[in-house]
Structure 1
């Protein structure tokens, strides 16, 4: 009986599907535009694997892409930096936290890594950073993956418009911004609109909150909040770039996003009619609870891009 049982087990092992092993991920630092930039980089199986630069959003950091890197990093080179004011990146004293400066750091970061051709994954703050980068280096961009990264007026909810209108001297402005950085405020941004919040890892919001407790982070986030209106002013330039370059574009969007609602996703089709659009029944952090649907879309998209 023991021998028969062992043979049965051996047969089941031979016929079971192979395990989908996660990618190996390196955690590194590089100096870029005076900042000590922390980044995550997958180590793909092939040396010539296509590259995807992952640009994170607010209130998160490169850690938000950990599961996507695990899922796709053996097949593609995925690189996710932390911006100054986020995660583990350290910036020099007196660093001006504006979206222009964040893009300067990303420009210098890609130069430091000698990246020549890559697609951009733009989520939330990743859109204003990524579009600035794309306008400066259009020859490098093979395609865009846009996940709840807004570039259109109709993609701003009423709450987002109120946020954009904040000025440093307005009563209650500072409190409104800092309220988004409390553990409760961060958790709400992850869960609002999600049909199954139990699928969202609660450690993500806690990690974000811990990073925002670091010295200088409050000043950085206030500065970026009050600078956000310059992103809205730049929307026409970004739209013109999309019309002029027509980059291959994949849009994956949480349709119940309280900040950037569904019309912002559909608006991209005006300027990039051939864009591929997928809407999901969730909120702002669509990747948190829809990784299983989004990752295959990203893989298929990357496989179709020119090298």
Structure 2
């Protein structure tokens, strides 16, 4: 776990907050006016709230931006004796939101934050005001979800490696040392903006995974796919109607090597057929790193218009 006061040479100068509501010490950023509209940013694999630092800077002038680190990531605790499947993270988020009393939420979801956020939306639809997917899948009971996951896995280097590594027993040894191979993992997934890579940046992304125990979160998210342990939430009819009525936006870096637009944007359009989709050429999986100004601007404009 990263020290609570770590700012990584001033690149993340944000006040740390903690809650024990999900049953472990969960870190979150809470910036902006207390009475502002709530933007809840959900990171994925293998990142943490640091991913959203540019977005926080942009939106916190006018909005309350809340950014939790999932269990096993960032400055949050990595408890032993807990499972790290999708359904666990959804339950953690539900407890977190209840503890903070958040309502009128705009979800901003990246990578695995998509399934976590949509799982939460299925359970708590009345708390959701808007949906923003930024290279984040939006599973919401679509009948072709499994087929799309399978088709994507066939062309994704990350998912191909996970399946092979789980089969030959190398998944744990590699991911248990994620702090030392964080850059190669990010590049495998489709990270394009090499100009931002320096020692501070690598330290910020590698620091949460200093020991094998601290890698339980990253290992769980990866291992849940080949083992079938992840459970995707299916909304009831009322939740489905509520979420489909919300304003939504998709932003997709088309150089994403892990989550291909052709397989995942149809999931978004199935829920929000008239919602805008911004496709960014030359931008990879980590769109918040590859094009932070562009992505932040698109989100800020969408908030103004809706």
Shared fold (TM-score, shorter chain, > 0.5): yes
- Correspondence 1:286-297 to 2 at 5 A: 286-297=287-298
RMSD (Å) for aligned C-alpha atoms: 3.2
Post-superposition Cα deviations, 1:28-51, rounded to whole Å, max 9, x if no partner, equal: 11112211111111123xx43111
Partner residue of 1:140?
127
Q: Quote how far apart the aligned CAs of 1:57 are.
A: 1.2
CA shift in 2, pair 1:198/1:259, >3 Å: same
210-219 or 102-111, larger mean C-alpha shift: 210-219
Partners of 2:40 and 2:278 in 1: CA distance: 20
- Correspondence 1:196-275 to 2 at 5 A: 196-199=193-196, 203-214=200-211, 216-228=213-225, 230=228, 234=232, 237=234, 245-246=243-244, 247-267=246-266, 268-275=268-275
Out of 20, 27, 31, the residue aligned to residue 16 of structure 2 is 27
What TM-score, normalized to structure 2? Answer: 0.79
The structure having more radius of gyration, on CA atoms, is 1
Q: Quote how far apart the aligned CAs of 1:252 are.
A: 1.0
Q: Contact between 1:23 and 1:69, CA under 8 Å: does it hold in 2?
A: no
Partners of 2:55 and 2:113 in 1: CA distance: 16
Q: Contact between 1:23 and 1:74, CA under 8 Å: does it hold in 2?
A: no
Q: Quote how far apart the aligned CAs of 1:67 are.
A: 1.5
Partners of 2:231 and 2:91 in 1: CA distance: 19
Q: Which runs of 5+ in 1 are unaligned?
A: 1-21
State the number of aligned residues. Answer: 280
Q: Contact between 2:78 and 2:216, CA under 8 Å: does it hold in 1?
A: no
Partners of 2:45 and 2:172 in 1: CA distance: 17
Partners of 1:175 and 1:245 in 2: CA distance: 37
Partners of 1:294 and 1:242 in 2: CA distance: 27
Partner residue of 1:10?
none
- Correspondence 1:99-118 to 2 at 5 A: 99-118=86-105
250-259 or 183-192, larger mean C-alpha shift: 183-192
Partners of 1:273 and 1:201 in 2: CA distance: 41
Q: Contact between 1:179 and 1:185, CA under 8 Å: does it hold in 2?
A: no
Out of 107, 124, 130, the residue aligned to residue 120 of structure 1 is 107
